[in-house]
Amino acid sequence: MKHTDPRDFAPHSDDIHTVSPEEYVQLLHPQGVIGNPAVLIKNSEKPSQQFTRCPDGIVACLHALLDRTSFISLNRFKGTRCNSGLVSLN
């Protein structure tokens, strides 16, 4: 069994701050994997929102997420974000 070098997954830049939000999502959740990441949006006036979306869908709505207190899961889910829907741990 060949072990993967973690540097294979890291951005090829010496400055980690040059990674765009879109590249960050694509590094965490590459195309062709099983399941979708979950997004949590914390609101001060309203209850928090959470949803799962394909990586391309998250990239498409990143502009709205960056202006709010929001989190993208490291793990992937099938359906809603719950233990029974967990399909991949990162």
* In the chain, % of residues over pLDDT 70: 81
Q: How far apart are CA 50 and CA 8, in angstroms?
A: 31
Predicted pLDDT at 28: 87
Q: Is 88:34 a contact under the CB 8 Å cutoff?
A: yes
Kindly report the backbone phi and psi dihedral angles of residue 24, in degrees, each rounded to the nearest multiple of 5, phi listed first. -60, -45
Residue with tokens 């006036």: 45
pLDDT digits (tens, 9 = 90+) for 15-37: 656 788 888 888 888 888 889 99
Count of all residues that appear for the chain in the document: 90
| Whether residue 40 has pLDDT greater than 70 | yes
CA distances from 52 to 2, 6, 19, 39 (A): 32, 26, 23, 6
